[in-house]
Amino acid sequence: MSASGVRARVRAEMTDEIKAVARRHLATDGANLSLRAVARDMGMASSAVYRYFASRDELLTAMIIDAYNSLGEAAEQAAQGAAGKATGKEAGKEAAEQNGKTELDRFLAATHAVREWALADPHQWALIYGSPVPGYQAPQDTIGPATRVILLIADIVKSAYDSGRIAERPPITGQFAEELRVVADNYAAGTPPRAVAAALSAFLHLSGAVSSELFGQLNKSVEEDRRGFFEFQMRGAAFLIGLTDNL
Amino acid sequence: MSASGVRARVRAEMTDEIKAVARRHLATDGANLSLRAVARDMGMASSAVYRYFASRDELLTAMIIDAYNSLGEAAEQAAQGAAGKATGKEAGKEAAEQNGKTELDRFLAATHAVREWALADPHQWALIYGSPVPGYQAPQDTIGPATRVILLIADIVKSAYDSGRIAERPPITGQFAEELRVVADNYAAGTPPRAVAAALSAFLHLSGAVSSELFGQLNKSVEEDRRGFFEFQMRGAAFLIGLTDNL
DNA sequence: GCCATAACGAGAGCAGTGCTCTTGCTTTTT
DNA sequence: AAAAAGCAAGAGCACTGCTCTCGTTATGGC
């Protein structure tokens, strides 16, 4: 039918369904999902899947991108919600009036959102922040979505700098000060290099905390109040980058 | 020959050789090493390997234990070296006399050793701190060696507490204070709960920093002076846990 | 409307995987 | 010396990613 329509649409639907089934398999089988298994699951030959994804790696790449975006969106929404701009539901209560949430609040909201996203689907977290599969080389398409959450943190830090709600921290010393300036100008011109370093540092702390909890590094240690321990960690990170004065 | 000797010895040699070959394969193929391939590599049938390791998982477990121990040893030696007890080589210079290295020095030495160990063999790091393989459940044998480096950090922190070279930090609040005490008494009686939390926190920061660098999370960001960035991170962690006063 | 073209789905097939079982052989134990 | 246990090899099963071929179906140009 309609000129450039049917074929393309069913194709898009197919790729989406494949990804959906694959995501379901991912939740049980982890990163070594079987292309044949997902093909079986949707009643088609394994070879037919190759019409939509050139290889298993390409399927994984697509899911990685989706995961990055999903995570980034979750973090952004949480940070936005904490900033006072409640999205829809609780709009009338005390949202728009009180916009005085600090950057610390936004940071904590975002990091908690990241953690909860990871807890809700550990395999998806492992897919993007776990050890990469051996032969796999992350293509260019992934680096965009990958930086979303780290850019969010950078934005929060930058906001703190702009509004002056940032604690004094010693300047960067060492040879990577200049390097940081390049990165800063690359991503968001005007962001002080110190803010970039802070964002990187905080993100690193965040990923370590989530991964350790998920992958069972701190096995029996913290069992009961993992959320509390995580918050403790993130407050430490926030202090280090100057988002708060009191540790 | 000698009663209970030959068979057992060649068996031990065999398992060692298998692990050695597997380790070599790990460096190229990553975590999905092929049992058949290592069997081929040492000129024996794949089924023969099963005389020494009941399954591929068991082989991996053995290598994980080895990796944990190797990493732990590297960290311990570095910390020990930084504490003044130079092992052999530079014994006469100024080692035994000046034992005044601070806990910060030991901490930094240990963490750098961990990073360098990981850089030297990324796949081995991925094996123990990367995302676990789906079906794999870490057996009891691994949790001992696994805690070596974190116990080392705990020991450093405890030493700082004992000698009073620790900065004041606010007490633990929240419901996990009591839990920490249990953990502390479990691992090393007498260690203040705050020290346990500090060790966990620092380790978490450490693993996040190493993993992020290894797995290419901070892709182009920090490229030149990664060691400097790492040290920057670890000094931050040291400050958070009270090993130093100046950030 | 016709027809070449391209996309599609299915099946067979290849090389490789983990793992089991059976079959001989050698070493150790009794 | 006989019995038991350890060992290595091969065949085989079910599975994997991926390629190729072969009909079928929809799309776009004339």
Q: Out of A32, A138, A229, whose CB is closest to B134?
A: A32
> Does strand D come within 7 Å of the CB of B89?
no
List Cα–Cα distances, A221 to B1, B171, B180, B198, in angstroms.
49, 19, 8, 12
* Average pLDDT score over residue span A184-192: 72
Q: Out of A170, A208, A233, whose CB is closest to B209?
A: A208
**Three-point CA angle A151, A153, A154, nearest 5°:** 60
Judged by CB atoms closer than 8 Å, whether chains meet at B200 and A223 is answered as: no
> Does strand C come within 7 Å of the CB of B73?
no
- ipTM entry: 0.87
Judged by CB atoms closer than 8 Å, whether chains meet at A183 and B220 is answered as: yes
Query: How many angstroms separate the CA of B47 from the C1' of D9?
Result: 8
Could you tell me if A87 and A80 are in contact, meaning their C-beta atoms sit under 8 angstroms apart? yes
| DSSP count for chain B of H helices, then E strands | 11, 0
| Cβ of residue B222 closer than 8 Å to a chain A Cβ | yes
CA distance B193 to B197: 6
- Find which nucleotide's C1' atom is closest to B36's CA: C17
B109 or B162: which carries more pLDDT confidence? Answer: B109
Judged by CB atoms closer than 8 Å, whether chains meet at B222 and A130 is answered as: no
pLDDT for the residue B140:
76
CA distance B110 to B247: 19
Min Cα separation A39/chain B (Å) = 20
pLDDT at A52 over 50: yes
B34 or B197: which carries more pLDDT confidence? Answer: B34
Judged by CB atoms closer than 8 Å, whether chains meet at A222 and B183 is answered as: yes
Q: Out of A209, A219, A222, whose CB is closest to B208?
A: A209
Chain B 16-45, CB < 7 Å to strand C: 33-37, 40
Min Cα separation B25/chain A (Å) = 11
| Cβ of residue B170 closer than 8 Å to a chain A Cβ | yes
Tell which strand C nucleotides have any atom below 7 Å from a protein Cβ: 7-13, 16-22, 27-29
* Average pLDDT score over residue span B84-112: 66
Query: How many angstroms separate the CA of B51 from the C1' of D14?
Result: 22
Least confident residue range of A140-149, B29-38, B101-110, B238-247: A140-149
3-state secondary structure of A90: coil
* Average pLDDT score over residue span A17-44: 94
B54 or B9: which carries more pLDDT confidence? Answer: B54
Indicate the pLDDT class of residue B137, thresholds 50, 70 and 90.
Answer: low
pLDDT at A201 over 80: yes
Could you tell me if A215 and B129 are in contact, meaning their C-beta atoms sit under 8 angstroms apart? yes
Judged by CB atoms closer than 8 Å, whether chains meet at B183 and A220 is answered as: yes
CA distance B20 to A72: 42
pLDDT for the residue B3:
43
Could you tell me if B71 and B114 are in contact, meaning their C-beta atoms sit under 8 angstroms apart? yes
In chain A, which residue's Cα lies nearest the Cα of B126? A131
Residue with tokens 């369904």: A17
pLDDT tens string A215-226? 876 656 666 788
> What six digits make up the tokens of A51?
């019409």
In chain A, which residue's Cα lies nearest the Cα of B241? A236
pLDDT for the residue A138:
66
Query: B136 exposed, middle or buried (CB, 10 Å; 0-12, 13-18, 19+)?
Result: middle
Query: Closest protein residue to C26 using CA and C1' atoms?
Result: B7
Judged by CB atoms closer than 8 Å, whether chains meet at B205 and A200 is answered as: no
Could you tell me if A217 and B207 are in contact, meaning their C-beta atoms sit under 8 angstroms apart? yes
| Cβ of residue B99 closer than 8 Å to a chain A Cβ | no
pLDDT for the residue A82:
76
What's this model's pTM, rounded to 2 decimal places?
0.89
Q: How many beta-carbon contacts under 8 Å exist across A and B?
A: 176
